[in-house]
Amino acid sequence: MVFKRRNPRSYLQIIAEALWPRGGWTRAFHYVKHRVRRLPDDPHRIARGIAAGVFTSFTPLFGMHFVIAFFVTRVIRGNILASLLATFVGNPITFPVIAFTSMKLGHLILGTTFDESKHPTLFGKFVGAGEDLKHNFFAIFTDATAHWSNLYNFYNEIFLPYLVGGLVPGLVCGVVSYYLSEPVIAAYQKRRRKKLRARFEKLKARLHARVGERHEQG
């Protein structure tokens, strides 16, 4: 294959680069910002795409953020590529803050409690839910009894509060990102068009000068 990597990455390298990209998150942020600003689309559509991507970052459906951002963007008629790039807002640095805030707010809305002292055990709940999923999958092909206790606790204590609580800050951050990004993108595109127009005028002037020189020589 033409685009196949010469030195394939190991699974550990893939995981490590997902947590910390080459060049760091600052360089990755500037890359995403550069790509978003140069998208050839209306600023309103790009800003709507950014809002959709930011909103999606507050959902607990990890691994499906691109899919969710795609459908949300289609509904609000935004730029799809901008929405996919904007899901970068959800990253290993921001996820702990997003998760903690969303679950705290979700438990408040649902009328349940969230004990901060048990926050370090959240990873254990993810592991327990994964073990139940694995066990129940193999139980389909064997006589083993399905286990649902860990999944039930995970759904009630983490997933549902995260989902409900993430809607409010997700909507707020999405709307804010729209109103912040739209004028910035519009100003950037206007300045870029002005530079391209000036470059074109210089090129046209050079061509006219060359044509005039040839006529004089002729």
Q: What is the residue-wise DSSP string for the chain?
A: -TT--SSPPPHHHHHHHHHS-TTHHHHHHHHHHHHHHT-SS-HHHHHHHHHHHHHHTTSS-TT-HHHHHHHHHHHHT--HHHHHHHGGGSSTTTHHHHHHHHHHHHHHHHT----GGGGGGHHHHHHHHHHHHHHHHHHTTSSPPP--HHHHHHIIIIIHHHHHHHHHHHHHHHHHHHHHHHHHHHHHHHHHHHHHHHHHHHHHHHHHHHHHHHHHH-
- Mean pLDDT over residues 207-216, rounded? 70
Confidence of residue 2 (pLDDT cuts 50, 70, 90): very low
User: What pLDDT is attached to residue 193?
Assistant: 78
User: What pLDDT is attached to residue 153?
Assistant: 83
More confident residue, 72 or 132: 72
206 neighbors 84 (Cβ within 8 angstroms): no
Task: Please check the confidence at residue 163 and state whether its pLDDT lies above 90.
Answer: yes
With respect to residue 174, please indicate whether it lies within any of the assigned structural domains.
Answer: yes
With respect to residue 6, please indicate whether it lies within any of the assigned structural domains.
Answer: no
Token pair 């002292």 in the structure block, residue? 117
- Mean pLDDT over residues 19-29, rounded? 52
- pLDDT per residue as tens digits for the range 113-131: 766 665 546 667 777 888 8
Confidence of residue 14 (pLDDT cuts 50, 70, 90): very low
Close Cβ partners of 45 (under 8 Å, ≥ 6 residues apart):
77, 78, 79, 82
With respect to residue 97, please indicate whether it lies within any of the assigned structural domains.
Answer: yes
- Mean pLDDT over residues 87-94, rounded? 82
CA distance 86 to 18: 16
Confidence of residue 23 (pLDDT cuts 50, 70, 90): low
59: left (phi over 0), alpha (psi -120 to 50) or beta: beta
- pLDDT per residue as tens digits for the range 35-89: 655 666 788 898 999 999 999 999 988 888 989 999 999 999 998 888 888 888 8
Amino acid letter, 79? N
User: What pLDDT is attached to residue 19?
Assistant: 44
Task: Please check the confidence at residue 158 and state whether its pLDDT lies above 80.
Answer: yes
With respect to residue 216, please indicate whether it lies within any of the assigned structural domains.
Answer: no
With respect to residue 120, please indicate whether it lies within any of the assigned structural domains.
Answer: yes
With respect to residue 2, please indicate whether it lies within any of the assigned structural domains.
Answer: no
With respect to residue 18, please indicate whether it lies within any of the assigned structural domains.
Answer: yes
Average pLDDT for the chain: 78
Share of the chain above pLDDT 70, in %: 73
- Domain range for 134 is 11-188
Residue 101 tokens read as 């805030």
With respect to residue 198, please indicate whether it lies within any of the assigned structural domains.
Answer: no
Task: Please check the confidence at residue 155 and state whether its pLDDT lies above 90.
Answer: no
Q: Which has the closest alpha carbon to 115: 99, 127, 102, 103?
A: 103
- How many domains does the structure of the chain reveal? 1
Task: Please check the confidence at residue 171 and state whether its pLDDT lies above 80.
Answer: yes
